[in-house]
Each structure stands twice: as C-alpha cells, then as structure tokens.
Homo-oligomer: A and B are copies of this chain.
Amino acid sequence: MPRFLTESDENKFRHELCDVATRLFTEGGLAAVTMRNIADELGCSRTTPYRYFTDKADIIATVRAAGFARLADRLISVGDSDDVIERIRELGHQYVEFAIAEPAVYRLMFGMSQPDGEPSLLLEAEVERNRVAVRNAAREAVAAGRLHGDPGTLARLYWAGLHGLVELHLDDKFSPDHDLDSLTSAMIDTLIAGMRSPA
C-alpha cells in the first residue's frame, strides 16, 4: 500500500498554499497568483495543488474565506462594552482598520464575486459570521432602546456605509485630500445619529 495523506496533512498543505497565495497576491496582484508561482514558492510541481484544490477558483475562494475569517475574528473580538453605542462605534473602527491592514485581501474578498459554478461553502460560512457579528450589535442597540428600526436593516446600512467608505478610499475615488480616519468617524456618527430618531 502506498503512502496515505492524513487529514491534518491535507489541512497543512492547504493552509500553507493559502498563505503563499495571499502573499503573492498582496505583493504582485492577481497577475502574480499563478499555479507555477505558487508551486515554485511551495517547492512542488505545478499540478500538485490539484490534489488539494479542485480549481484555481477554489484557491481564490479559500484565500477570500480566510480573509473573511480574520475580519470576523476582529469584529467578534470587540468586547461587550457597558455602552452599546460605543460597542458599535468600535466595531466600525475595527472594520476599517482591517481593510487598511490588508487592503489587497480586502479588495479580493469583495471584488472577486463571480457568479460562476457553485459557491464555496466555507466562504459562505465565513461571510455569514461577519453578518451575525454586525447584526448582533445592531440587535442589542435596538433592544436597549438606543437605536430605532429593524435590526437587520440597520446592520445592513451600517455595513454598507463602512464598506462603501473603504472601497472608494482603496479605489482612490475620493478627492485627493481626504483623511480616512476622520471620514470613518463622520460616517459612524452620521449613521448612528440617523438611526437614533424613530422612523
């Protein structure tokens, strides 16, 4: 009988490949993420990854899923402050901080949604973790009477506002002289202020 791969062996390889792909993308953009480059960096043949991933698309999806996982960890790490509003503020700042810390990955996470084939379940699960992190914060604020409206709607608006801010900043769509930090605070303040008064 030949040598068999432990499940932890598979996971280890997948993890290492994911790290390499992430680094290649961060350093050289999508053009640098090539099967040959990944293989060279990993010290294996160019077709070896096909044992562990079905596609190159599968690899990209895994990199994106890992990014969403790190973002969700950040959002969840925002502890229960005594002030619910303050917690929402901190959550927003953590969101933007992640985007600034990993701009390349952030753009890959949101800019590569292609309606091809069946979507990665792992990716979908990690996105959901982010959803609930924001939704929980909104729900608590509404329950505490500090915000008014449908928690689901409020969560979506909050996420969208922050995401739009980050994307336009990363794409340099804003006028040249803008400070993302103060703009982030302004967005958070404006949204929260708008959510305070009953509809």
Contacts and interface: CB of A to CB of B under 8 A. Distances in A.
B111 A111 contact: yes
Interface in A153-173: 153, 156-157, 159-165, 167-168, 170-173
Interface residues of A, number: 41
Interface stretch (A3-11, A138-146, A191-199): A191-199
A110 B193 contact: no
Given A193-B193, A197-B193, A156 B168 contact: yes
Interface of A: 29, 110-111, 113-114, 116, 127, 131, 149, 152-153, 156-157, 159-165, 167-168, 170-175, 178, 183, 186-187, 189-195, 197, 199
